Amino acid sequence: MRESEAARWLLERDRFLILTHVRPDGDTLGCAAALCAALRQKGKTAWAAPNPGVTETYLGDIQPYFAPMDYAPEHIVAVDIATEGLFPDALAPYKGRVELCIDHHPSNSGYAQNTCLDASAAACGEIVYRICRDGLGTMDAEIARSVYLAISTDTGCFVYGNTTPTTHRIAAQVMEYGDFFREINRRCFQTKSRKRLELESRLLQSAHYYEEGRVVIGGVSLADMAQVGASEADSEELSSLLRQVEGVQAAATLRELAPDQWKLSLRTDVDYLNATDTCALLGGGGHAAAAGATVSGTDREGMERRVLEAIRTVLNGR
Amino acid sequence: MRESEAARWLLERDRFLILTHVRPDGDTLGCAAALCAALRQKGKTAWAAPNPGVTETYLGDIQPYFAPMDYAPEHIVAVDIATEGLFPDALAPYKGRVELCIDHHPSNSGYAQNTCLDASAAACGEIVYRICRDGLGTMDAEIARSVYLAISTDTGCFVYGNTTPTTHRIAAQVMEYGDFFREINRRCFQTKSRKRLELESRLLQSAHYYEEGRVVIGGVSLADMAQVGASEADSEELSSLLRQVEGVQAAATLRELAPDQWKLSLRTDVDYLNATDTCALLGGGGHAAAAGATVSGTDREGMERRVLEAIRTVLNGR
C-alpha cells in the first residue's frame, strides 16, 4: 500500500490504536506519537498502546499518548514492527489483528492486512512524516518533534550509514516547526549514565589487543556488573565501544550473562574478518559484520584464547 | 561583502592562496579544499597554504591542496579565521595582507580588506557552499565532500545546538554528489585513539560527585599522560566528557599542564551554575557555560576542595 493510500485508509476510519515494538526505540515511539497527533488534528480518536518496555529516555515523549485502560479501539495500526514476534508480550492479543502496518524493514513478514513499506527509508519516521504531511495534510510542532525523534535516533543523529539525503531533508523541514532538537539531541546523544560510563571504563581497561592492534578482546563480568550496580539497560550495545578504537578492525566483547557463561559479540570490518564464520567456529552465528556466540568457561584467559584462536583461524584461512 | 560579491571578486582574479586557522579543524580545512577545487574548475590557480598543525584525521583531505614551496600567489583569502591572532605561526607573513575573509564567527575582527560574514551559519562551510554553487556556478563530488566535512565536523555531526535547518538542507544537497559521508562519519565521529580512550577512562575513574550528582570534579595528571603515552591531541576537549554524565549540571576537569600547575575547565548548565563567576573566584574567566582558570597545588585533594568551594560559593550566592 502506498503512502497516499495509507493516508486515505486512515482518513476513512476512526478510533485507532497504534502498536510499537518490544524494547521500543525512538523510531517506533516517535512514529506512534506523530501519528496520534496527526490523526487527532483530523478529528480522529487515536491512542498508542501502552508499552511497558519504554525506558526513561523516551517516557515523556510517548506517555501522554498511552491509551486509557478502558479504550475500545476499532482499528489497529503498527509502526516500525517487522514481525509479530516483535510485539511486546502485553500486545500479544493484537496478533493477527493489525490492519495497517507502516514500516521500513525489508524483512517485514507481511503479517498485517495492509503494509505500507519503504525499505529505503533510514527510519520509519520518514514514511510517517510523508503520510502526515502529504497524505493527511497535517504538520505542527508536536508532529514535527516526534518525527525528529524518530529519524534522529534511528540514524544515531545522522552518523550511521543508513542516513540519506532524504533523512537530512526531512530533518530540515521538521526543524522549521519548533525549537525541540536541542533538548532531544542532548537527551538522546549527549548523555550517559554514570553506571554506563563505569562499565565502558572497565571494558576498556580489560581490553587486550592483538594482530598489531587490529583485533581487540575485552569483557564485562557479572562481578563488574554487580560492583557498578549496572542494569541490562546500562550494558546495551557495549560491543560498539571497542569497535570505535582507532585501528581496530575486529572487536570481540564478552559479557558474562550467567556464572561462567559468556555472550560473545563480534563486530568487524567485513573486508578484514567475517564475523559469522568466526562465531560459527564457536557455535554461534549472525551477520558478516556483526555476529555472536555463547562461550562457557571459568578461566577467562582460556576463554579469550579460544576466541582469539577462532579469529586467527578465519584470518589465516582467507 | 555579500556571497555573490565575494564570488564575483574571486572570478575577476587569479592565483589564490587560501589560509586556514591554527589548530585547524574540519571546517577551516574543508572550506579551503572546497574553494581550491571550485576555483580550479573555473580555470584558476588556487592552493591552500601548508598548515603544519593539521592532524592525521584531516591530512588526506587537505594535503593534495597544499601549495608547492615556490608558489607565488597574487591574492590571499582566509577561511574560518576570526582574527589574525588565529593565524598559524608559519602564516604570520600574511598578516595585514588578506584581501578576502570568508567567515561565520560573530567575533570576526574585520582584519581583511573584504569580509564575507554570515554569523548565522553553523559552519563556514555553509557560506563556502553557497559561494561555490550559486556564485561560481560549480559543484562536483570533490567540492561536495569538502563541504560535508566542514559542516559535519563543526556541528559534531548535526548534534550541537548550532545546527540549523539550513545545515541539514546543505548536507542533503551535497550528499547527492557522491558516497563520501560514510567514510567521513566513521573517521571523524566513530573513531577514538586508544590513548584517548585510556585518558577518558582515567578521568572517569578519578571523578568525584557532589551536590547529589549535579557537580563532578575529575582530573588527568602529567603522570597519567606519561603512563598512557598521550599527546596534547589525545587530551583535546576532554572537558566535554564529564559534562555528558547523566544528571551532571556542572563538570570541572583538571588537567596538569606543568608540575603542580593545573588547568581547570568548567562546563555548566547556565541555569544551574555560572561558569565565569565560579572561575573568577579562582582567578580565571570565560563564558557563562564554559570557563577556565589555572590552579596551582601539589595536594590534589586540597585543589579539588578549592574548586568545590568556589562552585558552592556561587551556588549559595544565587
What is the rounded distance in angstroms from the CA atom of residue B286 to the CA atom of residue B13?
41
- Using a CB-CB cut-off of 8 Å, the residues of chain A touching B168 are 158, 168-169, 171-172, 175
**pLDDT higher than threshold 90 for residue B295:** yes
How confident is the model at residue B166, as a pLDDT?
A: 98
| Mean pLDDT calculated for residue range B38-60 | 96
- Picking from A161, A172, A201, the nearest residue to B204 by CB comes out as A201
In three-state secondary structure terms, A295 is: strand
Cβ–Cβ of B159/A163 closer than 8 Å? no
* Residues B81 and B28: beta-carbon distance below 8 Å: yes
Instruction: For residue A99, give how far its alpha carbon lies from the nearest alpha carbon of chain B (Å).
Output: 34
**pLDDT higher than threshold 80 for residue B283:** yes
How confident is the model at residue A207, as a pLDDT?
A: 93
How confident is the model at residue A272, as a pLDDT?
A: 95
Which of A101, A106, A142, A149 minimizes the C-alpha distance to A125?
A149
**pLDDT higher than threshold 90 for residue B19:** yes
How confident is the model at residue B290, as a pLDDT?
A: 84
- Of the given ranges (A107-111, A171-175, B201-205), which has the lowest mean pLDDT? B201-205
Which of A124, A132, A120, A135 minimizes the C-alpha distance to A174?
A132
Cβ–Cβ of B209/A194 closer than 8 Å? yes
**pLDDT higher than threshold 90 for residue A159:** yes
In three-state secondary structure terms, B142 is: helix
Neighbours of A11 (CB within 10 A): 14
Tell me the pLDDT band of B239, cut-offs 50, 70 and 90. confident
Instruction: For residue B293, give how far its alpha carbon lies from the nearest alpha carbon of chain A (Å).
Output: 25
- Using a CB-CB cut-off of 8 Å, the residues of chain A touching B122 are none
The 10s digit of each residue's pLDDT in B184-205 is: 999 999 999 989 998 998 998 8
Cβ–Cβ of A192/B164 closer than 8 Å? no
Which pTM value belongs to this model? 0.87
Query: In the predicted model, what is the mean pLDDT of chain A?
Result: 94
- Using a CB-CB cut-off of 8 Å, the residues of chain A touching B176 are 165
Tell me the pLDDT band of B272, cut-offs 50, 70 and 90. very high
**pLDDT higher than threshold 90 for residue A29:** yes
**pLDDT higher than threshold 90 for residue B260:** no
How confident is the model at residue A240, as a pLDDT?
A: 84
How confident is the model at residue A265, as a pLDDT?
A: 93
**pLDDT higher than threshold 80 for residue A236:** no
- Written as nine digits, the cell of A143 is 508532529
What is the rounded distance in angstroms from the CA atom of residue B98 to the CA atom of residue B112?
5
Tell me the pLDDT band of A291, cut-offs 50, 70 and 90. confident
**pLDDT higher than threshold 80 for residue B233:** no
Tell me the pLDDT band of B234, cut-offs 50, 70 and 90. confident
SS3 content of chain B, % helix, strand, coil (to 5): 45, 20, 35
- Using a CB-CB cut-off of 8 Å, the residues of chain B touching A204 are 197-198, 200-201
Cβ–Cβ of A191/B244 closer than 8 Å? yes
**pLDDT higher than threshold 90 for residue A285:** no
Cβ–Cβ of B165/A158 closer than 8 Å? no
* Residues B54 and B32: beta-carbon distance below 8 Å: no
Chain B residue set in contact with A, beta carbons under 8 Å: 157-161, 163-169, 171-173, 175-176, 181-182, 185, 189-194, 197-198, 200-201, 204-205, 209, 213, 244-247
Query: In the predicted model, what is the mean pLDDT of chain B?
Result: 94
Contact pairs from chain A to chain B, CB under 8 Å? 97
Counting Cβ atoms within 10 Å, is residue B216 exposed (0-12), middle (13-18) or buried (19+)?
A: buried
How confident is the model at residue B115, as a pLDDT?
A: 98
Instruction: For residue B154, give how far its alpha carbon lies from the nearest alpha carbon of chain A (Å).
Output: 14
Counting Cβ atoms within 10 Å, is residue B85 exposed (0-12), middle (13-18) or buried (19+)?
A: exposed
**pLDDT higher than threshold 90 for residue B288:** no
**pLDDT higher than threshold 90 for residue B71:** yes
Which of A109, A195, A104, A111 minimizes the C-alpha distance to A150?
A104
More confident of the two residues B56 and A11? A11
- Picking from A175, A189, A246, the nearest residue to B168 by CB comes out as A175
Q: Please, which contacts does A62-69 make with residues 24 or more away whose CB atoms are closer than 8 Å?
A: A62/A20, A62/A24, A62/A29, A62/A32, A62/A33, A65/A18, A65/A32, A65/A33, A65/A36, A65/A37, A67/A17
How confident is the model at residue B297, as a pLDDT?
A: 84
How confident is the model at residue A303, as a pLDDT?
A: 93
Tell me the pLDDT band of B77, cut-offs 50, 70 and 90. very high
Q: Is the ipTM of this complex over 0.90?
A: no
| Mean pLDDT calculated for residue range B267-286 | 92
Percent of chain A with pLDDT over 70: 100
- Picking from B172, B185, B191, the nearest residue to A168 by CB comes out as B172
Residue type present at position A300: R
Element (H, E) at A106: none
Instruction: For residue B174, give how far its alpha carbon lies from the nearest alpha carbon of chain A (Å).
Output: 8
**pLDDT higher than threshold 90 for residue A270:** no
| Mean pLDDT calculated for residue range A240-250 | 92
How confident is the model at residue A297, as a pLDDT?
A: 84
**DSSP conformation letters of A271-291:** TT--HHHHHHTTT-EE-SSEE
* Residues B31 and B19: beta-carbon distance below 8 Å: no
* Residues A113 and A98: beta-carbon distance below 8 Å: yes
- Using a CB-CB cut-off of 8 Å, the residues of chain B touching A201 are 200-201, 204-205
- Picking from A176, A182, A245, the nearest residue to B165 by CB comes out as A176
More confident of the two residues B218 and B235? B218
**pLDDT higher than threshold 80 for residue A318:** no
Residue type present at position B157: C
A64-68, A198-202, B295-299: which is most confident: A64-68
- Picking from B168, B185, B192, the nearest residue to A245 by CB comes out as B192
How confident is the model at residue A232, as a pLDDT?
A: 77
**pLDDT higher than threshold 80 for residue A44:** yes
Best residue in B57, B148, B159 for a mutation probing chain A (most A CBs within 10 Å): B159
| Mean pLDDT calculated for residue range A201-218 | 94
Instruction: For residue B190, give how far its alpha carbon lies from the nearest alpha carbon of chain A (Å).
Output: 6
Closest-CA residue in chain A for B228?
A205
Cβ–Cβ of A165/B175 closer than 8 Å? yes
Tell me the pLDDT band of A177, cut-offs 50, 70 and 90. very high
- Of the given ranges (A52-61, B61-70, B131-140), which has the lowest mean pLDDT? A52-61
- Written as nine digits, the cell of B234 is 589525545
**pLDDT higher than threshold 90 for residue A60:** yes
- Using a CB-CB cut-off of 8 Å, the residues of chain A touching B247 are 194
| Mean pLDDT calculated for residue range A204-213 | 93
- Picking from B167, B182, B198, the nearest residue to A161 by CB comes out as B182
Percent of chain B with pLDDT over 90: 82
